[in-house]
Every structure is written in C-alpha cells, then in structure tokens.
C-alpha cells in the first residue's frame, strides 16, 4: 500500500487529521483468539466456555461457532503479511488460555506457546509491535466446571497462566492487557447469559467481576517480573458514555445510576482501589466476597488503560429509580445514525470519555484498544469491497480522538476493531467489523475501502512525522 495514488485519495481534511497525531503514536488493528483462530481441536487445545456455549442451540446466531473461524491459526503468516501491506504499526491479539494450559491449571502445552511465539516473531520481522491480551473471554472449560469466575481459585490459576506466557513472550511483547472487558465477561456471561458461560444471576456477575479484577491484580507483578523493562502492563475496559435525554431530576438520577453500572464498576477499583459507592445497592445485590488485601492488588498502578468504545447510550428517567442495569434507553435518537449492531454513531462520546478518564481517574496513558463498526458489506467476487459508511465512521472517530489529544488527553495509540471480519460472539458471522473482508467459503481476504483509507492515512502520517 505504498503508492502515492492512495495518499491522493485522502481529502484535505484527512491530511490534516494525519498531521494531528504525534510521531510515536501507535496505529494498529485488533482481533481476539476465539474470533479468528479456528483450529479449536488441534495441537492440544482443549475446549473453552465459548466452545461449550456456542454448541447450545439458540445461543449463537445460526448456530455459528469458532471451530474454523478465519483459520488464522494456519494462515497466520499471510495475515501478518496483510497487516504489513496495510502499514500497521501495532497489532493487538489475544492468547487462548486453553491452548497454553488446556485444563486451566497444571500441564503446559508447548505447541500453544510455540504458536504465539511464532506470531510475535513474525510481527517483529515486519516491524509491527505486538500488544497481547491474556484473556479475551475463552476460559478453559475445565475451570468452568469448578465454578469459573465465580470461584476465587480461578484468579490464582489465571495468574499462573499469565506468568507462564510472560516467561515465554515477555522479552518481545510491548504491551500486555491482563483482561479484555471484564464487564462483559461478568455481566453478559454471568448476569444475563447472552455470552458464555450463559449464567443468569446478577449476584454471580458481581462475584465473577471481583475475581476477574483479582486475577488482574495478581497477574500484574508477575507480568512485570517476567517482561522486558520497557514493556507496559494494562487492561482493556469497555465504556459506553451515558447522556441524559433531558434535564429532569429523575433523568439525571437514572443516567447517573446507569453510568455507575456501565462505566464505573471496573475503573474505580482499578484507579482508586475501591468499588464506587452505591453500586451494589443500585443493582440490588450484595457486595462481592472481597478479602483483605484484594483491593490493594487491584488498585496497583497500571502503565496504561486500554479503552474500548463504539457508541453511547441516552437515558431517560422513569418515575421510580430503575435498577442500575435496567435504565430506560432512548432509541432511536432522532436524526442519529446507527451501525448494524444498532449502536449509535456518536464520536463526541469518545472525546468526552478520554478527557474524563484523564481528568477524573488520573489515567496517564490511554490506548484506544477497540473502536469500529459493523455494516452490511457485500463482495462481488472481485478485488474491492466498498464500505463508505465504515470509512466515514473511522474518519469521525479518529477526528474525535484528535480533539481529545488536543485537549490534553494522553492518548498513545489507536487499534481499529477489527483487522478482519470474524466470529462476532452471539452474533456469529453475521456482523462484519473488519477493515478486511473475509470470504468464509474460501478464506480469501479482500481489503475493504476502509482498509485502503486507513492505510493511506497511516502513510500520510508517516510522511509527516519523518519531516
Ligand atoms: C467488544 C469485544 C470484541 C468485539 C467487539 C465488537 O465488546 O471485545 O471482541 O466483539 O466488541
């Protein structure tokens, strides 16, 4: 992608955008193991909760699962080649715990470590910086059979696993994320059951959330002790900024309760070493089983916060206070545009969020670890896929990022979700988020217009920053 032709396809606004980012900014793309790897029964991998969940009729759209996915486990070399053609500076991937320690604890599977070792080396050969997530939702099934994240022991098993991975890759991985979106693991997985393992009990969600945080806290020092001195360790959280629909007192009250539940549940223990006041009452649950010392571990400083943001919610107050997870969402918002997920496109929320994380929570280094959009892309068998709405989405969101930077938010990188179309959890393969199209019949990858645009933006940015 290094033709000047592509730079010329950028508008003057795009060129100005490219100039808004500093030299050491990391531009990348993100994926996760279960969503792309396939090969779920190969080389010693044992099932995860997602293999089990996807096998239950009705849980995943059209009965899809990750058994083959993008076959990335076998196509890794050419996928890294694709990243290189796009000109990516960073790649965020996740490591499948059930490949490394198939039973969750105990015996280590050498073939699993070898795969990620090869991936990291291949990335480095191409000049792409590896950012690794240690847990992107694929808990070894054997641990689920002992209570999964509702069992405190899982946090200790996780920390052992994290150390094993760091011992092997810690000399080369630039950034570790302990967890991806523990809010989703806890609430979607244990609270409402739309994700694996499919439990529906809010108390379990709260307890699981605590054990996920504990896992993070236990792993932090062990990752640091086994990584290069300049490696950084953080976590990725999902945020959906909440905006009140009107100025009524009940609306402000319910918007605040929604924010408590959606945005503050995980960041506050991490940033301040305590759960936000009123959270458990607002959810009508008991506090989780916190033991002495837990919150100190959880609140230990991190080197960066990974921010995953796609949309916002607009909340309207009811006559009585809604349980914090049941606030009334307004939609569609008049005049607003939505992606195929039904998520409103509202880039200002990203600016507001980044400034808040810096000012209110004192975050000193922020990476957008996920941002992107699903649209109905179609491919005619040729070399192109036209996705003008995704190009517009990226222009607007990267623009919002530039304005957060300008206002002082310490943003260090941006990883688009996703490098390529993949298994979108409960939505199966029906939702396409990639900047690269995947034809699942042939495993052919076709760079979409958004991929070409991103590549051109990166090239323009590189051209500026070398001046
Ligand atoms: C996030 C997940 C990611 C992907 C996007 C669309 O919540 O972390 O794996 O599915 O949503």
Give the Cα separation of 185 and 181 in Å (integer).
7
Q: Encode 143-181: b = buried (16+ Cβ within 10 Å), e = exposed.
A: bbeeebbbbbebbebbbbbbbbbbebbbebbbbbbbbbb
The ligand 1 atom at the shortest distance from the C-alpha of residue 431 is: 6
Is 275's C-beta closer than 6 angstroms to any atom of ligand 1? no
Mutate to test the pocket of ligand 1, among 34, 183, 195, 424 (most ligand atoms within 8 A of CB): 424
Tell me how far the alpha carbon of residue 4 lies from the centroid of ligand 1, in angstroms. Answer: 33
The verdict on the CB of residue 325 being under 6 Å from ligand 1 is no
Instruction: Find out whether the beta carbon of 138 lies less than 6 Å from any atom of ligand 1.
Output: no
Q: What is the pTM of this model?
A: 0.98
Q: 91 vs 70, 98, 122, 286, 324, CA distance in Å?
A: 16, 21, 11, 39, 35
Going by alpha carbons, the residue nearest to atom 9 of ligand 1 is 32
What CA–CA distance (Å, rounded) separates 451 from 318?
Answer: 43
Contact (Cβ atoms closer than 8 angstroms) between residue 222 and residue 161: no
- Which pLDDT value is given to residue 9? 81
Q: Which of 256, 268, 344, 370 is catalytic?
A: 370
How far is Cα 405 from Cα 407, in angstroms, rounded to an integer? 5
Q: Which of 36, 96, 181, 371 to mutate to test the pocket of ligand 1 (most atoms within 8 A of CB)?
A: 181
Distance CA 429, CA 433 (A): 10
Whether omega for the bond prior to residue 126 falls within 30 degrees of 0, making it cis, is no
Q: Which of 333, 373, 140 is nearest to 245 (CA)?
A: 333
**Count of C-beta atoms within a 10 Å radius of residue 192:** 15
Spell out the per-residue pLDDT of the chain, length 467, in tens.
554 445 558 999 999 999 999 999 999 999 999 999 999 999 999 999 999 999 999 999 999 999 999 999 999 999 999 999 999 999 999 999 999 999 999 999 999 999 999 999 999 999 999 999 999 999 999 999 999 999 999 999 999 999 999 999 999 999 999 999 999 999 999 999 999 999 999 999 999 999 999 999 999 999 999 999 999 999 999 999 999 999 999 999 999 999 999 999 999 999 999 999 999 999 999 999 999 999 999 999 999 999 999 999 999 999 998 899 999 999 999 999 999 999 999 999 999 999 999 999 999 999 999 999 999 999 999 999 999 999 999 999 999 999 999 999 999 999 999 999 999 999 999 999 999 999 999 999 999 999 999 999 999 999 987 65
The per-residue pLDDT for 7 is 55
| Ligand 1 pocket member 373 (CB < 6 A) | no
User: Which of 370, 416, 428, 433 has most ligand 1 atoms within 8 Å of its beta carbon, as the pocket-test mutant?
Assistant: 370
Q: Which residues of 434-443 are buried (b: 16+ CB within 10 A; e: fewer)?
A: bbbbbeeeeb
Q: Give the model's pLDDT for residue 37.
A: 99
- DSSP sequence for 177-216: EEEE-HHIIIIIIIIS-SSTT----HHHHHHHHHHHHHHH
Separation between Cα atoms, residue 130 and residue 228, nearest integer Å: 13
Q: Is the CB of 370 under 6 A from ligand 1?
A: yes
For 364-426, the DSSP string reads S-EEEEE----------SSS-B--HHHHHHHHHHHHHHHHHHHTT--EEEEEEE-SS----GG
- Find, among 78, 72, 75, the residue nearest to 36 by Cα: 72
Answer yes or no: is the C-beta of 133 below 6 A from any ligand 1 atom: no
Alpha helices in 30-175 (DSSP H): 33-36, 49-54, 72-86, 97-100, 110-125, 141-144, 153-169
Predicted local distance difference test score (pLDDT) of residue 285: 98
Ranges of H-type helices in 260-376: 265-272, 279-283, 294-298, 348-359
Q: Distance (Å, rounded) from C-alpha 148 to C-alpha 154?
A: 6
Residues 6+ apart with CB under 8 A from 403: 351
Q: Is 406 a catalytic residue?
A: no
Q: Give bridge partners of residue 304 from the DSSP assignment.
A: 234
**What is the pLDDT, as a whole number, of residue 465?**
76
Residue nearest to atom 10 of ligand 1 (CA): 424
């Amino acid at each position: 992608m290094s033709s000047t032709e592509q730079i010329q396809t950028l508008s003057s606004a795009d060129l100005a955008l490219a100039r808004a980012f500093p030299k050491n900014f990391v531009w990348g793309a993100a994926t996760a193991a279960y969503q792309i790897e396939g090969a779920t029964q190969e080389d010693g991998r044992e099932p995860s909760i997602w293999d089990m969940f996807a096998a239950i009729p009705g849980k995943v759209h059209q009965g899809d699962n990750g058994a083959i996915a993008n076959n990335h486990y076998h196509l890794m070399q050419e996928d890294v080649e694709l990243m290189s053609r796009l000109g990516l500076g960073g790649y965020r991937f996740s490591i499948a715990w059930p490949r490394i320690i198939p039973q969750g604890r105990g015996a280590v599977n050498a073939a699993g470590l070898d795969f990620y070792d090869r991936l990291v080396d291949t990335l480095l050969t191409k000049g792409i910086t590896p950012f690794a997530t240690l847990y992107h939702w694929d808990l070894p099934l054997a641990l689920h059979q002992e209570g999964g994240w509702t069992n405190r022991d899982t946090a200790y098993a996780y920390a052992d696993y994290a150390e094993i991975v760091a011992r092997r890759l810690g000399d080369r991985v630039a950034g570790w994320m302990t967890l991806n979106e523990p809010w989703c693991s806890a609430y979607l997985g244990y609270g409402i059951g739309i994700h694996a393992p499919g439990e529906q009990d809010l108390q379990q969600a709260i307890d699981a959330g605590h054990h996920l945080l504990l896992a993070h806290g236990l792993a932090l020092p062990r990752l640091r002790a086994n990584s290069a001195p300049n490696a950084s360790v953080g976590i990725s959280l999902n945020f959906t900024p909440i905006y009140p629909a009107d100025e009524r007192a009940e609306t402000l009250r319910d918007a605040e309760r929604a924010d408590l539940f959606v945005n503050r549940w995980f960041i506050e223990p991490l940033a301040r070493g305590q759960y936000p006041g009123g959270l458990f009452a607002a959810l009508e649950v008991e506090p989780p089983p916190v033991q002495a010392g837990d919150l100190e571990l959880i609140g230990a400083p991190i080197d960066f916060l990974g921010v995953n943001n796609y949309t916002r919610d607009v909340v309207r107050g009811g006559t009585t206070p809604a349980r914090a997870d049941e606030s009334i969402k307004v939609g569609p918002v008049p005049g607003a545009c939505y992606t195929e997920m039904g998520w409103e496109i509202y880039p200002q929320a990203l600016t507001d969020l980044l400034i808040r994380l810096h000012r209110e929570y004192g975050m000193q280094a922020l990476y957008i670890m996920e941002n992107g959009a699903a649209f109905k892309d179609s491919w005619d068998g040729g070399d192109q896929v036209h996705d003008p709405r995704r190009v517009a989405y990226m222009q607007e969101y990267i623009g919002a990022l530039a304005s957060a930077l300008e206002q002082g938010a310490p943003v260090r990188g941006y990883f688009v979700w996703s490098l390529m179309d993949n298994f979108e959890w409960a939505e199966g393969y029906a939702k396409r988020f990639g900047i690269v199209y995947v034809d699942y019949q042939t495993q052919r990858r076709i760079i979409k217009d958004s991929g070409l645009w991103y590549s051109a933006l990166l090239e323009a940015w590189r051209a500026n920053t070398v001046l």
